[in-house]
Structure formats: C-alpha cells, structure tokens
Amino acid sequence: MNPIIKWLAVCGVAITLAACSSTKGGSQSGSSSVNSPTPTYTPPPKVEAPKVVEINPLDDPNNLLSKRVIYFGFDQYTVTDEYRAILEAHSAYIASNPSVSVVLEGHCDERGTREYNLALGERRGNAAKQLLSLGGAQDSQLEIVSYGEEQPVAIGHNDEAWTLNRRVEIKYQR
C-alpha cells in the first residue's frame, strides 16, 4: 500500500474522531445522561498487533478532498480563488497516487444553446484540469467530459438553480 494513502488514512481517522466527539458534545449536552449508557471501566483487550483502520480521505468530510464540486460564474470558465484550495488538494492527492484516475465533468446552466453549452462545459473542465496539472497530476490521470446543460443538479429556472448547475464535478474512477 502506498505510504501516503496510509498516512492520509490515519489523519482521516484522527480528524473524524475529533469531529464526532465535538458534534456529540455540542448537540447532546442536555440529554447525554438519558441517551448514553453509564460509563464503566473495561480493561483494554489484549491486542497482538495494532490494526490500521483505512478510511479513504476522499470519503472524509473533514478533508478538503471530500469537496469535489467547484462552481463558475455565468458564461465563465475561470476558476475563482475560493475553489483553488480544493483543486490544489486534489492535485497533490492525484499526483502522489499515480494509479488514481479522475473524470472532470463540466456542466452549465440551461441558458443558451445546448451545443454551445457542451463546449462551455468542456472549457470549465479544461480550467480545472489545468490547475490539477500544475500541481503535478499527470495528463493520463485526467479526462474531461462535458455534459453541457444536460445534467442539472438543481431543477428550476432561476438564479439559485443556475448557480448550482454551473459546475465541474471531480469524479474519481474507483
């Protein structure tokens, strides 16, 4: 197993545990005595070897890698600053995991013509790919597929829906 994945997995576990305990403390402060069993001391079981729990960093909600959608302005295909950190995290992860491959799905809102939007979606995919490549991801690991306006995530003919639909989804091929 790749040492970096292992390392990220361990970090992931640590962060997840921290997140769980803090959430519990916050939301259940008043009712913990009712819901929690009375704490009793149990001696730790004897273990022969420490078990490594593998959590994929991509599935860890506290890892930037779990954020896999970036959004764009109307008729724009420039990645704005707020999404650069996400792409940098993915870039580093993809670069250090040569076996990983990613499809960058480009999407548009429904305004404008369908085939032009197919091209615009590809432009958005290209913009994301460029930043991933800068961080060391190899060309062979990255593919762009534009869906144009054909696969909206939000239904509706308004700004709220349009904002959510102008996006690139980073899809790891597992």
* Among 5-13, 26-34, 92-100, 118-126, the segment contacting other proteins (CB under 8 A): 118-126
For residue 113, state whether it binds other proteins (rule: CB under 8 A). Answer: yes
* Among 43-51, 60-68, 82-90, 113-121, the segment contacting other proteins (CB under 8 A): 113-121
82/115 with CB nearer other proteins: 115
Task: Measure the CA–CA gap between 42 and 139, rounded to whole angstroms.
Answer: 53
* Among 40-48, 51-59, 78-86, 109-117, the segment contacting other proteins (CB under 8 A): 109-117
- Choice from 74, 80, 136, 154 touching other proteins (CB under 8 A): 74
* SS3 label, residue 69: strand
b/e map 74-88, b = 16+ CB within 10 Å? eeebebeeebeebbe
Amino acid code (one letter) for 171: K
Cα 93 vs. chain centroid, distance in angstroms? Answer: 11
Name every residue whose Cβ is closer than 8 Å to that of residue 73 and which is 6 or more positions away in sequence.
80, 166
- Choice from 141, 146, 166, 168 touching other proteins (CB under 8 A): 146
Which residues contact other proteins by CB under 8 A?
A: 74-75, 110-116, 118-120, 122-123, 126, 144-148, 150-151, 157
